[in-house]
Amino acid sequence: MKTDLLTSLNAERSARRPVIVVTDVGNGEQRLVKADAIKADPLAADLDKHLRMNKSAMIEVDGKKLFLNVYAPTARLIVIGAVHISQALAPLAASLGYEVTVVDPRTAFASPERFPDVPVVAEWPDVALPPLGVDRYTAFVALTHDPKIDDPALLHALSRDCFYIGALGSRKTHGRRLDRLKEQGATDSSLARIHAPIGLAIGAVSPAEIAVSIMAEITARLRLPQEKAA
């Protein structure tokens, strides 16, 4: 591996941008493909699939064996609301490999006793969210049912490129939420990114089951091709 390739690889990784290193294992030739260059790459289909599945693998192209080493950032989950569902959701998401952060300005909810294993930020979204660096590899869920907390949080998420945004609430509740967010300047096309009611329809009742339905929807969004995950 050439020094400049290794330096760019580390720079992309520390900026949480996905990259793939393509190595011809027959002769050692190597190149680095950044995420935004995948579409125009001759190996676009293979690169896209392996990046989406976060799976490094050997492929054969024109009789050459090429190793695709996928370096995808660790997916994050930001949970707005240190509520009962979040207590089930946080450990489930952590077991799926997500870095989880819980945000809730209400200190009675946002206590380390209720969330022993994940960072909890007891601040309002406008203070808590900017330092978290919400990006393409972030899933974002709003679960408080309180517009004072959920609305500004969702507006922040909509201003970023996160791969999943979900909000708890019935269709009626969500309808009222859309009206409020529109009044604050959100466009219809950006609001369409919010998954609500949140989670896959699996008839979930308990907080733990709702957590499963949320993580199932997030997984589909992360792994399936975009058109199938919509």
Partner 1 sequence: MLSNDNDILKAAEDWQKAGRGVALATVVETWGSAPRPTGSNLVINDEGAFLGSVSGGCVEGAVVTEALDVIASGKPKMLEFGVADETAWNVGLSCGGTIRVFVEKVGS
Residues that bind partner 1 (CB under 8 A): 1-3, 6-7, 9-10, 13-14, 23, 25, 28, 30, 55-58, 67, 69-71
Q: Which is nearer to partner 1, 69 or 111 (CB)?
A: 69
Q: Which is nearer to partner 1, 9 or 134 (CB)?
A: 9
CB 20 → partner 1: shortest distance, Å? 10
Largest CA distance in the chain: 62
Using alpha carbons, select from 78, 82, 85, 103 the residue that is nearest to residue 169. Answer: 85
CB 27 → partner 1: shortest distance, Å? 8
Could you tell me if 217 and 96 are in contact, meaning their C-beta atoms sit under 8 angstroms apart?
Answer: no
Q: Which is nearer to partner 1, 55 or 64 (CB)?
A: 55
CB 155 → partner 1: shortest distance, Å? 31
CB 138 → partner 1: shortest distance, Å? 18
Q: Which is nearer to partner 1, 55 or 176 (CB)?
A: 55
Separation CA 137–CA 162 (nearest Å): 6
What dihedral angle (degrees, nearest 10) is formed by the CA atoms of 130, 106, 88, 90? Answer: 20
Apex 118 CA angle, 114 and 119, nearest 5 = 100
Separation CA 88–CA 68 (nearest Å): 36
